[in-house]
Structure 1
């Protein structure tokens, strides 16, 4: 009977456990990343101490002399004791908050029990404090678990009550009375408090795990949305990107409609109300203007939506800002049938999505600036001409003016063509292999004049390859590298070959020299690190390789074959003109 009476009190345990899970500071106990401050710790001590006091008052008064029991009391007689759940609150405090909170709650509940009276008052007061300490020690040893398991809670709760029975036997007097009391209430209290502690912990674990599961679902949804929207938001905030993003959000968020605006107009509206909440219309609602000006999100009802259509289903909305850096550049608007449909979780999801989209817009802006900077660097490198080359070319021309004026005139024309092609390369995105070969011929005509009979140049180029599209100023730097580095030690019989032949659906372009070659260890580093040419145009092989890969495809990267003392072949490939046309037709 006593066990059943004690178990009836578990309804109070369920209520208190549920209420505690609603308190924000209580949740901090289970977050390993957060620390509770002294004030919050003190508040927890008071809460659990009061819980222990409630357990005392809801206990059953037991008189072991006449073997009587009755419920609810505020004062105990000298021959009376209590069968109660006081230890339960103290044990839970120690298990969840550690020994400080456990002992603190034990002090409050224990002192209260002492002043309540009865021949076990002092013993029960001491036992309550000891129970908090025991639970705190067990909690410390359970480091890997934020919350102990119900099984551990049952064992600790039952053990703490068993210790209390031993303390009663050791301290309470007369001993015969204490022994009779323990025989009457010992086993029922051990069982009931063990079950109560396990139930308390189980409720807390269930509530928190359920909320964590819901949070994980929302996080998974947010990550999925982030993955789906990233490609579109990289294009910036445009009507096209806004339309794609709105379609994704409308599918993922249970809502009536989704809209995205810039600072002036609606970029896209997907869902209900499309007939009168039209894409491209100017922003009219004061709530949206407020969000744009203040940068603060709002939740609005029907009146604030200011829809003139009496049949409009859009009765509530969450309006969140879209920001780039610290400036609000637009809004995300999610519409619902009523404000009751906007749950706290839904509100947090929309706020999180607006932040996520804002970050994506900042990334898009950063990538745009990075691309502009990269293009500017390429243009700068393309426009560079080695002063050594210019001075050497002018000196060669000067030396030929008197001895061979016609040749000097041809070299001036070649130099002019060389500069013209260099400047043209800074304003063009693509060139043809034919134009690149002409640029190389202008350059080599000057170098051949300087080298006299020490350099022989050969061209092996298929006619069909000349129409192949290549990035501007791609071939000439390879030829210049071969002349300046590969053939610099050649006193005679220097040979340079420029090839372009079709291989399947690509054009393979090669520059070969019979110079001193490149160390095998250096070949890899030339393409993996941005080492620029010290005496050439400034466009190193690494930069050329990057341009080819980024502007065409991975297959177009440079390939270097070289053997020390036997020359070097540097090659790359581009899609053939016929292959490109075939791809366009398909």
Structure 2
């Protein structure tokens, strides 16, 4: 009966101890310790914390004198014949299982010294056994190193052996005296039950606290994504006073910080919230930590008011977050708080995530801009290319005509100037109306007809209503030029070229067909993929290759040129240029009108 009564009494006392410990796990500073990386400072702090938990378990114990049980709290000292049945091992075992060898041994030393100061039958034995048990708990924890926190059931099972070993040390130290044997018989089982259950419950509470932190971190990560998404539209436009001011307002509102400032690498661009002063925009960066963040690219934390520039009584701490663009620090985001206590590990993790998110998105935006610029530059370069043979042949024709037909030479010169002017004007835009492209083609043909006179016939047919449809500039002329210079090479008979532009459901269908030599069979499958030159009956030339590349760049692979040799002879080049949005609507309206 006395053992059952003692067990219930210890369980009640252990419940009070765990209640106090539960309150401890709710304190942000304690959670801060759990999230810290282990070093000698956190190890010493953990040893002290769990050592105090162990001392609390001792004071919550029950004094045993022979067969008499004294349930008084806070016993200051024990008589030589008295013993203490307590829950002191809870703090020591948890310290070893969570903190490792050093923390467990440290908490055990603190608890052991306190037990020795109390005296009694178990005082010396507790002073010897408690540090050893903390050491052993730390060694056992190494077998579960892959677990962030050991499972409560495992902790409970391991802790069953700690009071048993402690009771053995009591018997050894007291040389198995009758008083020691009687004490062990009386308190052994109650202490095994109270301490093992207490360790399991305390580990479960700590595990729950850490999971709450993980859930909070996940929530903060999601919040970082949301905030980055809201701030990015401004920051992607570049770090200017206007974009920085808009982004700072968004960040302050979403982060609920005292203030938010955004800088480039030299000056403050915007400041929203507490400490906002007239003329602060454009102020040079004065904080040493800000300069360090720019140099190292690492997050810096200002923990004192002296480290913050500009000073403000309501601001006591700050997180300085560098943002990168193109691999270099492009600026800073400063998050200000009233006190360093508001900067928890969650805030630090959030700042890290925000920095990476914004930096990655800025790099993506820069890559998109560079890709767009490169694409535009490539298109302009392709569009600006003029076949030098055409220019040289035309100039030679003008030289010849000056002697025999001055009026024709003057007309060709005017047309050449008009053609060159149109060529330069049309390369300024990726798309031009079809009527301009046809005008460009007719100007070219006017020059060519002077040279070929009656040897060349070009027929162009265009469906009504297609004049305003957009197509890439210099699309038709290179295809016709290919037929003239390569399709009719070595031929003495008249060359016929037929150009068709038809309205289709998915776009404008373009076909250029001639009665020339046709494409060489050995290059027919690879035409348009690369410039093909060679002797024989002809080649595709650079012009057709450039047209094909521009079509694919602008509209995708479906718009590429298609080459074939029709059964009746000659060569045929076809493609389909998709309608733009407005053109597609107009086409649909016209189709509806025809059905009506």
| Deviation by residue 1:480-520 (Cα, 9 ceiling, x = unmatched) | 67778x85988788876543111126322244573126868
Task: Indicate the SS of the match to 1:385.
Answer: coil
Does residue 150 (structure 1) correspond to residue 157 (structure 2)? The answer is: no
Q: What displacement does 1:423 show? A: 0.8
Secondary structure at 1:465's aligned position in 2? coil
Tell me the residue number matched to 1:278. Answer: none
For 1:418 and 1:187, the matched residues in 2 are separated by: 106
Cα RMSD after superposing both structures: 5.8
1:575 CA drift (Å): 1.9
After TM superposition, give the deviation of residue 112 of structure 1 in Å: 4.6
Query: Match of 1:15?
Result: 20
Give the alignment of 1:375-414 within 5 angstroms. 375-398=376-399, 411-414=412-415
Would the alpha carbon gap of residues 105 and 238 (structure 1) be closer, same or farther in structure 2, given more than 3 Å must change?
closer
* 277, 281, 285: which one aligns with 1:287: 277
The change in CA–CA distance for 1:237 and 1:470 in structure 2 (over 3 A counts) is: farther
* Correspondent of 2:575 among 555, 559, 571: 571
Residue 175 of structure 2: SS of its match in structure 1?
coil
The C-alpha deviation readout for 1:514-546, integer Å capped at 9, x for no partner, is 31268688579669xxxxx99449946334422
Shift of the 128–247 alpha-carbon distance from structure 1 to 2, 3 Å rule, reads closer
Written as runs of structure 1 = structure 2, the 5 A alignment for 1:17-416 is 18-19=23-24, 22=27, 27=32, 29-30=34-35, 35-64=37-66, 71-114=73-116, 116-169=118-171, 172-174=174-176, 176-227=178-229, 286-287=276-277, 289-290=279-280, 293=283, 371=372, 374-398=375-399, 411-416=412-417
How has the CA–CA distance of structure 1 residues 182 and 524 changed in structure 2, closer, same or farther, with 3 Å as cutoff? farther
Q: TM-score, normalised by structure 1?
A: 0.68
Between stretches 183-192 and 380-389, larger displacement belongs to 380-389
Aligned to 1:423: 424
Change (3 A) 1:406 1:572: farther
Q: Helix, strand or coil for the counterpart of 1:569?
A: strand
Deviation per CA, 1:420-468: give whole Å up to 9, x if none. Answer: 2211123345412222133234446667888999987554432433331
Structure 2: distance between partners of 1:371 and 1:479: 30
Q: Secondary structure at the match of 1:287?
A: coil
Distance 1:332 1:188, change over 3 A: closer
The aligned counterpart of 1:545 is 552
- Count of residue pairs the alignment pairs up: 534
State how far apart, in whole Å, the 1-side matches of 2:390 and 2:101 are. Answer: 81
Could you say if the C-alpha distance between residues 512 and 139 of structure 1 is closer, same or farther in structure 2, counting changes exceeding 3 Å?
A: farther
Structure 2 regions of 5+ residues with no counterpart? Answer: 291-301, 303-317, 532-539
Q: 1:536 to 1:579 in 2, by over 3 A?
A: closer
TM-score with structure 2 setting the length: 0.67
Instruction: State the shift of 1:344 in Å.
Output: 7.3
Contact 1:479 1:511 in 2 (8 A): yes
**Alignment partners' CA distance in 2, 1:171 and 1:290:** 73
CA contact (8 A) 1:518 1:568 kept: no
- Once the two structures are TM-superposed, the CA of residue 399 in structure 1 deviates from its matched residue by 5.3
Contact persistence 1:517–1:562 (CA under 8 A): no
> Structure 1 unaligned runs (5+)?
270-282, 299-317, 334-338, 528-532
SS at match of 2:205: helix
